[in-house]
Amino acid sequence: MQAAVIPEVNTAWELREIPTPRPGPGEVLIRVRASGICYNDVLISRGIIPFPAFSPAVIGHEPAGEVVEVGAGVTARRTGDRVGVTWIQGTCGRCDYCALGLPVSGQAAFRCAAPAMTGLTVPGGHAEYLVAPADATVLLPDGLDFELAAPVLCAGYTAWCAFSKGAPRPHERVAVLGVGGLGHFALQFSAAAGFETVAITRSPDKHAVARELGADLVVGSGEELLAAGGADVILVTGPSYAAATDSLRGLRLGGRIVLAGIDGLEPFTIPPDLARPFFAQGQQVLGATHDGPGFLEQALRVVASGKVTPKVEVFAKEQVADALDKVAKGEVRFKAVVTY
């Protein structure tokens, strides 16, 4: 099969011929049709998130496709099922974290002793075929194109969980910091749910599209958010914690700032001039990741309903290196999807 292989840290992805995997007991073989690129794939490529130990290094955790073969003992999936696979495929089942019996979620990446992670500990979805445990697949809603389903498997899932974690109440205002892959979902989820929604973007060329995505107001900084009346919930969907800190200036009394973006280089801080108001204002800092299959199911349903539609740039597999480059430069509007 053809797969996008990363020869080593910080090198361009190459389309190469590698052996097609076979499904073992409990597993399915998926013919990948569309595979999204997450900013985390850029971080993995650069070794900022640990580079995979397996070889050839094929990453990607937003694959959508069809089941073409089922392994022994699989009853919940059949040949022809349209499925997606997410970042965490499963947990070790033996550690203290697993003993808590929680749903499979992004927490497991940091708490389970040996989580199976697509494109990190086991081969990922930038390939024509992918093997995954049947239990780690999600059935895609009928009628949802693979190109639109793929970005939901990480970006949409994360944005939906961040929005849910922020738990806006009907009278509250939601701000989304960073209009990118996650952010363009978050804006749409918030607007579709009826909330007054603010986009915080450092890109002047995104003002018009942010409004198209549902923003009632577009600002460029925390200071501008404050001047515009602030927000009760700020969903941080970009990779800069300095920008997250800045946005705190516009967080209202009792507000929640939800960190969904990951800054691999700088810490999130509450600087001295904000710490004094922060402690007295009942504000909260929350983290968000994939919160469990039920949330993914909800996000997929909202997208399938047409209330939220990912904006994707589709690349042929031969263009995968260009696609990654464009994501790394922040030039994609708003999700890069590679077809295999």
Ligand X SMILES: NC(=O)c1ccc[n+]([C@@H]2O[C@H](COP(=O)([O-])OP(=O)(O)OC[C@H]3O[C@@H](n4cnc5c(N)ncnc54)[C@H](OP(=O)(O)O)[C@@H]3O)[C@@H](O)[C@H]2O)c1
Strands (E), 1-49: 2-5, 14-17, 27-37
Asked if 251 is part of the footprint of Zn ion (rule: CB under 5 A), the reply reads no
The first and second tokens of residue 75, run together, are: 């009853």
260 binds, among ligand X, Zn ion, none (CB under 5 to 8 A by kind): ligand X
Within a 13 Å sphere around the CA of 128, how many CA atoms are in the beta-carbon half?
11
Asked if 112 is part of the footprint of Zn ion (rule: CB under 5 A), the reply reads yes
Amino acid at 211: R
Q: Which stretch binds ligand X (CB under 6 A): 233-241, 248-256, 274-282, 295-303?
A: 233-241
User: H-type helices in 222-330, by residue range?
Assistant: 222-227, 241-247, 272-280, 293-304, 320-328
Q: How many residues does the chain have?
A: 340
**Helix, strand or coil for residue 114?**
coil
Of 4, 21, 22, give the one whose Cα is nearest residue 13.
Answer: 4
CA gap 238, 222 in Å, rounded: 14
Asked if 58 is part of the footprint of Zn ion (rule: CB under 5 A), the reply reads no
Q: Which stretch binds ligand X (CB under 6 A): 10-18, 95-103, 121-129, 236-244?
A: 236-244
Of 166, 238, 250, 255, the one binding ligand X (CB under 6 A) is 238
Interaction residues for ligand X, span 164-223 (CB under 6 A): 178-183, 201-203, 206
206 binds, among Zn ion, ligand X, none (CB under 5 to 8 A by kind): ligand X
98 binds, among ligand X, Zn ion, none (CB under 5 to 8 A by kind): Zn ion
Asked if 125 is part of the footprint of ligand X (rule: CB under 6 A), the reply reads no
Phi, psi of 211 (to 5 degrees): -70, -40
Of 117, 155, 209, 213, the one binding ligand X (CB under 6 A) is 155
126 binds, among ligand X, Zn ion, none (CB under 5 to 8 A by kind): none
CA gap 235, 188 in Å, rounded: 12
Task: Give me the least distance between CB of 157 and Zn ion, in Å please.
Answer: 8
Asked if 312 is part of the footprint of ligand X (rule: CB under 6 A), the reply reads no
- Per-residue contact flags (x/-) with ligand X for residues 73 to 112, judged by CB under 6 A: ---------------------------------x------
| Block residue for tokens 């892959």 | 181
Q: Which stretch binds ligand X (CB under 6 A): 12-20, 143-151, 273-281, 286-294?
A: 286-294
CA gap 321, 332 in Å, rounded: 13
DSSP for 185-208, written as a single string:
HHHHHHHHTT-EEEEE-S-GGGHH
Interaction residues for ligand X, span 10-69 (CB under 6 A): 38-40, 43
The nearer residue to ligand X, 77 or 165, going by C-beta atoms, is 165
Task: Give me the least distance between CB of 338 and ligand X, in Å please.
Answer: 14
CA gap 244, 249 in Å, rounded: 10
CA gap 149, 102 in Å, rounded: 25
Asked if 117 is part of the footprint of Zn ion (rule: CB under 5 A), the reply reads no
**Helix, strand or coil for residue 256?**
strand
Residues of this chain that interact with Zn ion (CB under 5 A) are: 38, 40, 91-92, 95, 98, 112-113, 154
Residues of this chain that interact with ligand X (CB under 6 A) are: 38-40, 43, 106, 154-155, 158, 178-183, 201-203, 206, 237-240, 243, 260-262, 288-290, 330
